[in-house]
Amino acid sequence: MSKLNVAVIFGGYSSEYPVSLKSAHNVICHLDKEKYELILIGITKDGNWFRFHGDIDKLPKDEWCNAKDCNPVILMPDRGAKGILEVVDKKSVFTKIDVLFPMIHGRTGEDGCLQGLFELTGIPYVGCGVLSSAIGMDKDIAHRTVQTIGVKTTKYIVAEENEGVDNIMRRASELTYPLFIKPACAGSSFGVSEVADENEFEAAVKEAGKFGSKIKIEEKVVGSEVGCSVMGSGQNLVVGEVDEIVLEYGFLNTHLQANPEKGSVNSSIRMPAAYSEEFRNKIKETAVAIYKVMECTGLARVDMFVTKNNEIYLNEVNTMPGFTTYSRFPLMMEGAGYSIEAVLEFLINDALTR
């Protein structure tokens, strides 16, 4: 049986570029080489596309992009072609692609932009489509969407940085401190600040503004943060185990730490979450309901808060969650009995049959 050509796409010009390199490396290591011929495509921080032929261990060290290992490449939007054009020795070489496997997080990769290009190509791809990706990336739109099915969300306002700090602070006066101030359209805790009072407000707004002009200012939910992974399409859904973040201080910011592979300095993950099986099932049901109302396909990680009164609030939905060695999505699936190899095969089959 001939192998499927699977294009793993990594990098991208977002703040989550380094996370993408680690995720892609882990995915590449665990994809079945007997079934899949891997075509590795990297996007630089400047948005340049290359096919990578080198040692995959260069990815997490960000040493992949060099003249020896890379050739310029174009993903063809022609639906009749379904492949890439690679420039080799000043000649164009065509390679057919059977499945696209994007391992790009954040803006321009996880927000529907890349998915729109994939739709033009007609090539099956892993993950959520244009609509659900766009909704998931914008925490304001995601919250408004899930409110339609009765899922609770934090009390918040949204602002544009160019409104001016004084005006934003005036509008935020209806909220109760402590607050979280964050970019509305970014992930992995980039630009997120916990604000105890007005003295910390301006600096937090400026920090969030570095990652996007739309800013979300929300009340802190007192309780625990839990997550639930979901994968599949339509009625063919697989739900992972519920995990729980145990914080020593601050908030979850693993990707911002120096050596996350060695463990977080301020948090740990409890698997399964320290709730009864009955309540964990309720969390799973909520995650699935959110997944469906956002019209997710492929996979997503739904992050939620649980208050002391066992009320469930949406935090955010990651439509292309991390796949690093320390990422929560594959660990949740492992908790439900699915190895990372089984997860990757499921995702590819889902893309092919969707």
Active site positions, annotated: 19, 22, 105, 255, 261, 301, 322, 326
Determine how β-strand 36-43 pairs with β-strand 4-11: parallel
Helices (H) then strands (E): counts for the chain: 9, 18
| Cα–Cα dist 55/344, whole Å | 21
| Cα–Cα dist 279/146, whole Å | 20
| Cα–Cα dist 117/49, whole Å | 14
| Cα–Cα dist 83/80, whole Å | 9
Contact between residue 212 and residue 183 where contact means Cβ atoms under 8 Å apart: yes
- For residue 121, the SS3 value is helix
Phi then psi for 170, rounded to 5 degrees?
Answer: -65, -45
Q: How many CB atoms lie within 10 A of CB 155?
A: 13
